[in-house]
Structure 1
Amino acid sequence: MARPRTVIGTYGKIKVTQLREKSPGQPAVFEARARFRMANGAMRRPRARGASATAARNALKKKMAALEKEATGGVIDASTRIAHVAELWLAEFRRKVDQGKRSPKSLYDYEALVRTRVKPRLGELACREASVTAFDNAIKAVYDADGAGTAKKMKTVCSGIAGYAVRHGAMTVNPVREVEPVEVPSRGEIVVLEPAERGDFRAKLAAYCAAKGDSKLGVRARAWTDLPDIGDGMLSTGGRIGEVLAVIGDDIDPTNQTVVLDHHLVWVRGQGMVRMPLRKGRKDGLVIVVPSWSVPMWRRRKLESGGGPVFPSWNGQWQFITNVTKRFRTVCDDIGYPHIASHVFRHTVGTHLDEQGTPLTAIADQLGNTPAVVERHYRRKRKANEATAGALESLFDQGEGTG
């Protein structure tokens, strides 16, 4: 009868051989060896030595304990805790980040959610115990404590963890798929720069930032004096702030009146701000034809950039997005526009194009979104068409009563 194959992550019989007997001034030497089966099925033959048979055997067991962790670190089953599966899923996500397939920002958000939300609420459950009810209750608890936005991310993370468990045999189905959808409250009225506000806002923004330039900030004043151009950059393209801040001189063609948006800025741990390919959400780049009123600014910025960042920090590096948005917040509060923030510029572009009668598909092309997203986030509620209302006047013949 054939000998049974060694199970992955385990070893066979340990054999100990004495290599040298004890002599004056020299200890005895024993060598222990065994066959260990790795995760890929290959056999390794680790060895370890010691001054006695027991010492050699213990040294080998220590070495094989490390091999066992290496061989079975990704092997999970129905008894594996959710906390461990979460760490394995995060490790898989990190590899995708390293390969450029996922955003570092998403990784940092998911790591924080696993640490502060998933593990405290679900971490000690075995995979077999992680039911639809368990996930549903955890996500609802996050909704109640932190709101819909965090709850949606929590559901995404839980689904990723459960999906990993399914792929590796610890679960048969993904229970998160059956969890009740997270309802996002209505966003309310879309906030934009109204037509009557736009000229006044730009003038006050320019004056405020020019005064900052005359202060004692020195070269650091550039962080403020560049804000009007950054605002115009967003208003002339409809781009997100991280996409506009990622523009380099070579992306600008003043002759053809175009600006290319095909990168975005992301903060990477240990590196700072990094210019990443594609737009936010790994969407393809756009070649934007900009309005003539913005061309002088883009031309000037191209010449000043030398081919590098068009909106650099005071020391020539990429700007931190959070710092720029905070400065816009400060300016808007100080000049009498507390309802305006940097993301409102993109909303203003989408809403203005809609109110000018631009088809939703064209607006979607401009913003790099789908028509459904434009309808949901950039299109205001409208009054019924007046022509329709006029037609309804003839619903009853003249002279007939309506009561």
Structure 2
Amino acid sequence: MARRTIDPGDWGDISAKKQSNGRWKATCRYRPWDGGELKPAGAWGATEEESKANLRRNVRDRLAHSDSEHEKITRDVRLSVLADLWLEEKALDPGCSAETLKQYRDEIEESADKRGDRAAIKIKPALGGYRWREAKSVVLDRHLKRLLELGYYEKAHRQKVILKGIMGLGARHLNVPNPMDNVARLRRAEERSGPRAADGATLTGLRSQMEDWLSGKAIPGTPAYRSGPKRSRLVLDASDLMLATGGRPGEVLAIRKVDCVPLDKDVDWTECRRWRVWFTGTIATDRETGKLYRKSKPKTKNSVGSVVVADFAVPTLIRLLAAAGDDPEAVLLTTRTGGLVSPRKLSGQLRKARGSNYAWVTPKTFRKTVGTRVKRKKGLDAAAEQLRHGSTVITERFYVDDPEDVADYTDALEEGWGGE
């Protein structure tokens, strides 16, 4: 009878023999996960069964030590375990920033913060109990559609990306197709209705409401200030600069004093009415310490550049420059204690200041508003340049809320049906 083939990560038949000292020795051969040559293994015990049990435990330990990840990824692995392994893999990827890794972790794991929303839908609580063989395409598809039904479009897209990575890790190790490949496509809100920019009336109303919020008044969706630290003007100042430049939140939060260049050469800088701002960095999180730092390059290579600040934000810029002191490297927008501000914190403050009347407004809305206004006045190429996009395709698809007016072609429609 032919000897059974031993697959990687497995061992052959175990035999045991009583030795001259009265103890039992069990032996077998096992094959490491790397698919190399068979290796011998042995273990002792007071009885035959004890020696075999000790040997099985020893071999498992050796295989786990040789490749613990392979041992864990089977068709019975739970998605909670697979998610942890995927996060470990992404942590080793130099192309995955600390901010991105934190966003992944926030979507996967339930928040430990007691102030967190316990009703928030996370991947582990929702899907972590499923085994790989149970997490079929229909299960994953149903989970994402549930998010869409609740109106969480961006969350659904983020979790789809994450689930594709998690299930892809299992698919690679098990040599099977990725179940996420058969999940229905999720169309972005922009693909359905186009980008939404704020018009003049919206901006006027929003700013007035944000001023009320800053003064401590109650606004729709946010109660009045009662106690604790006074509300910070940070969100208003950052909104001014985003609307005046089209900068991304992280880029605006990373503006230093040295990045601001006065264009009126014959007046003191405090009286200058024309300014150019350079975007040379963004706010990032250190992967090891979790602390914020100013990253010396923005989102893409095309993002490095400068724009002229719109006149309405010049007083805000001058006030921030004066408060920054004499250090040219000082960042303009900081916390009360002079620390850096993360884009996530800025978004959280905006959610409070915008209330329920402007719940659809996000920092990205300001960027879309800038792109839309420049496009209407100067054209699509100018809008792409203002937003520092490498292509007008991205600008037109995701940042311009400006339906085209069709030219007058009625002369081609006159014949027949009421025409001559």
What does 1:111-122 align with in structure 2 at a 5 Å threshold?
111-112=108-109, 113-120=122-129
Q: Is the contact between residue 210 and residue 236 of structure 2 (CA under 8 Å) also seen in structure 1?
A: yes
- Aligned pair partner of 2:182 in 165, 171, 178: 178
Instruction: Provide the rounded CA distance (Å) in 2 between the counterparts of 1:91 and 1:252.
Output: 44
Q: Is the contact between residue 213 and residue 353 of structure 2 (CA under 8 Å) also seen in structure 1?
A: yes
Distance 1:253 1:11, change over 3 A: farther
What does 1:121-160 align with in structure 2 at a 5 Å threshold?
123-126=130-133, 132-144=137-149, 147-160=152-165
1:357-385 deviation per Cα after TM superposition (whole angstroms, max 9, x unaligned): 3x324323432445334323432344625
Distance 1:79 1:69, change over 3 A: closer
Q: Is the contact between residue 375 and residue 382 of structure 2 (CA under 8 Å) also seen in structure 1?
A: no
Aligned residue in 1 for 2:268 = none
Q: SS of the counterpart of 2:279?
A: strand
- Greater percentage in helix: 1
| Cα drift, residue 345 of structure 1 | 2.2
> Scaled by the length of structure 2, what TM-score is found?
0.66
Q: SS of the counterpart of 1:101?
A: coil
What does 1:341-356 align with in structure 2 at a 5 Å threshold?
341-356=362-377
Q: SS of the counterpart of 1:74?
A: helix
Q: Is the contact between residue 105 and residue 268 of structure 1 (CA under 8 Å) also seen in structure 2?
A: no
Aligned residue in 1 for 2:242 = 234
Q: SS of the counterpart of 2:242?
A: helix
- Identity of paired residues, percent? 20
- Structure 2 residue 79 is matched with structure 1 residue 73: no
Amino acid at match of 1:236: A
Distance 1:229 1:145, change over 3 A: closer
Instruction: Provide the rounded CA distance (Å) in 2 between the counterparts of 1:300 and 1:325.
Output: 25
- Aligned pair partner of 1:367 in 365, 371, 387: 387
Distance 1:97 1:249, change over 3 A: farther
Query: Larger relative CO (CA 8 A, sep 6+): 1 or 2?
Result: 2
Aligned residue in 1 for 2:222 = none
| Cα drift, residue 115 of structure 1 | 0.6
- Aligned pair partner of 2:282 in 263, 272, 297: 263
Larger radius of gyration: 1
1:318-376 deviation per Cα after TM superposition (whole angstroms, max 9, x unaligned): 22444433433444459x9777554432222112111213x324323432445334323
Aligned residue in 2 for 1:25 = none
Instruction: Provide the rounded CA distance (Å) in 1 between the counterparts of 2:152 and 2:349.
Output: 26
Instruction: Provide the rounded CA distance (Å) in 2 between the counterparts of 1:170 and 1:79.
Output: 11
For structure 1, the 5+ residue unaligned runs are: 22-27
Q: SS of the counterpart of 2:131?
A: coil
What does 1:288-307 align with in structure 2 at a 5 Å threshold?
288-291=306-309, 293=311, 294=314, 296=318, 299-300=321-322, 303=325, 306-307=328-329
Once the two structures are overlaid, the 10-residue window that deviates more, 302-311 or 312-321, is 302-311
Aligned residue in 1 for 2:331 = 309
Aligned residue in 2 for 1:96 = 90
Q: SS of the counterpart of 2:70?
A: coil
Instruction: Provide the rounded CA distance (Å) in 2 between the counterparts of 1:58 and 1:82.
Output: 24
Q: SS of the counterpart of 1:80?
A: coil
1:123-163 deviation per Cα after TM superposition (whole angstroms, max 9, x unaligned): 2352xx76554544454445445644443334333432343
Aligned length: 376
Q: SS of the counterpart of 1:180?
A: coil
- Aligned pair partner of 2:347 in 325, 343, 362: 325
1:261-309 deviation per Cα after TM superposition (whole angstroms, max 9, x unaligned): 43244597972545556545x6754212222633645754664655143
- Cα RMSD for the two superposed structures: 5.0
Q: Is the contact between residue 118 and residue 158 of structure 1 (CA under 8 Å) also seen in structure 2?
A: no
Amino acid at match of 2:346: V
